[in-house]
Amino acid sequence: MTLTAHSIIAGTEAARPSVEAATAAAAGAFDVYRDTTPQQRGAFLDAVADEIEAGRGAIVEAAVSESGLPEARISGEAGRTTGQLRLFADVVRRGDHLGVRLDPALPERKPLPRPDLRQRMVPLGPVAVFGASNFPLAFSTAGGDTASALAAGCPVVVKGHPAHPRTGELVALAVTRAVAAHGLPAGVFSFVLAPDAQSAIELGQELVADPRIKAVGFTGSRAGGLAIVAAAAARPEPIPVYAEMSSINPVIMLPGALADGDLGALATAYVGSLTLGSGQFCTNPGLLFLPDGADGDAFLTAVGDAVTASSGQRMLTEAIARAYESGAAALREAEGVRVLARGTEGGDLAPAPQVVVAGSPAGRVTDEVFGASGVVVRYADVDALVPHLGRLEGQLTATVHSSPRDSDAARRLLPVLEGKSGRILFNGWPTGVEVSHAMVHGGPYPATSDARTTSVGTRAIERFQRPVCYQNLPADLLPDAVRDDNPWGLTRRVDGDLRLP
């Protein structure tokens, strides 16, 4: 792979990346940027979306070329990326993320008067964002982490992903144009791109270690995420890391779903979700629990047919394709595993999809194989299923297929699944993550490094904030968000009661 793209440091193209220059500019820009009003910051986020739309043709072309993903998919991802920025613009203008709380003074209270107390959320400071290989737009340079950090009032330094350098540069230039057009300090956004994969790791470590960086957003492998978590914890001042790392997204077929459903359609839908985008999704359904019995047997036969008929699709990079091949082979050779079916290779970097059947969900069977590889585990009844689920690691999603006759079983599974995952879905497939207010794309370790939050959806803005309380501030010094006359028209909590504006 030849990198032909540049770093964009505080508005200026640079042939060589400089973490020092980018973080110094970000720190320098922080005080101005954090003080932008909701209207100003919202307009800026909309402008980032506008600039990406203006450059959309070249951006989509670069992303298709660099990722190998189909144009329809990349085009959809571009829409998701700009939609996400506009959604955060709306969130910022509404201002609920400021979480304002007012406890008015009680000067006559006995035995002690209560002071005037006002709380708001403030941004943490410059944020480092590590984009994902599998979403060159929506989880990358101006993706969800960047959008939510900018929305919170944090300058952003993106570590460009070596799998799509030119896409990253073009998006970075779009963001940079919006920064300039809105008269913001150039340090609000920088993009540092390493010249090769080895130096990319070093660059990432340098970025996380930089004292001016105050939080990190990451989407990628478990090894990569854990290295960043360790680097952040080893700093003189440790910082929060939001790493979205790995998940095998268990799917549970309950007996009623098979008895009452169309087995062929269910099997086709499963294999469709498993092989979508060559299986390169965080929410790929890597593990499926199937009841013993004739319906399960028939479903499995249909799955085998669908897999056999499937063909490999080009994966994102050679390294990812090779990792899939070796992971898929290790799975096939693992103890207690038999191959149900394999598809055909689809040409260069397009290895064959596969589904295997395993005796129990343990050991290598539960290691994520990034790509279109699925494991089916049979179970006798819910009593046997619950301990299986209890032993799984934390997951992004858990899926249940049920019919009304499965209600008791589903009710019993729900608390177990809540403890294991960030999103529970019924009668669907986990691929496809809505960007909205109620979405959770997160989950217990090791799905993410911090289950208290989400990396998709509007709650993501909360990751980059912390509360500050003002006690007895003179009125002329109060930040606008907590002033008595509420100039921003915010919803606020007064003595614990929510007051709409």
- Cα-Cα-Cα-Cα torsion 388, 430, 443, 296, nearest 10 degrees, comes to 0
CB of 393 to its own copies, least distance (A): 8
- Contact window for its own copies (CB under 8 A) among 91-99, 132-140, 314-322, 328-336: 91-99
Cα separation of 441 and 493, whole Å?
28
156 phi and psi angles, rounded to 5 deg? -125, 135
**Residue 320, helix vs strand vs coil:** helix
Is residue 101 within the footprint of its own copies (CB under 8 A)? yes
Is residue 425 within the footprint of its own copies (CB under 8 A)? yes
Among 418, 484, 487, 489, binds its own copies (CB under 8 A): 418
CB of 28 to its own copies, least distance (A): 13
Count of C-beta atoms within a 10 Å radius of residue 474: 6
Q: Which two tokens stand for residue 243?
A: 């790493």
Tell me which DSSP letter residue 344 carries: B
Q: Which two tokens stand for residue 160?
A: 């460009």
Cα separation of 101 and 80, whole Å?
33
| Ranges assigned E (strand) in 318-359 | 337-342, 354-358
Q: Which two tokens stand for residue 385?
A: 């299923």
Is residue 477 within the footprint of its own copies (CB under 8 A)? yes
Helix runs in 70-211, H state only = 71-94, 144-152, 165-181, 197-209
- Contact window for its own copies (CB under 8 A) among 54-62, 95-103, 279-287, 324-332: 95-103
Is residue 96 within the footprint of its own copies (CB under 8 A)? yes
CB of 479 to its own copies, least distance (A): 8
Is residue 241 within the footprint of its own copies (CB under 8 A)? no
Candidate list 51, 282, 325, 368, residue with the active-site label: 282
Catalytic site residue 469?
no
Catalytic site residue 282?
yes
Expressed in angstroms, the distance from the first to the final Cα of the chain is 54
Among 110, 112, 183, 338, binds its own copies (CB under 8 A): 112
- Contact window for its own copies (CB under 8 A) among 52-60, 247-255, 264-272, 436-444: 436-444
Binding mask 346-375 for its own copies (x = CB under 8 A): ------------------------------
Contacts of 140 (CB under 8 A, 6+ apart): 131, 132, 158, 161, 164, 167, 168, 171
- Closest CB to its own copies among 17 and 442? 442
Is residue 151 within the footprint of its own copies (CB under 8 A)? no
Q: Which two tokens stand for residue 452?
A: 């208290």
Among 438, 484, 487, 489, binds its own copies (CB under 8 A): 438
**Residue 467, helix vs strand vs coil:** strand
Is residue 498 within the footprint of its own copies (CB under 8 A)? yes
Q: Which of residues 255-284 bind its own copies (CB under 8 A)?
A: none
- Closest CB to its own copies among 136 and 394? 394
Is residue 485 within the footprint of its own copies (CB under 8 A)? no
Distance of CA 149 to the CA centre of its chain: 13
Is residue 405 within the footprint of its own copies (CB under 8 A)? no
Q: Which amino acids are annotated catalytic?
A: 244, 282
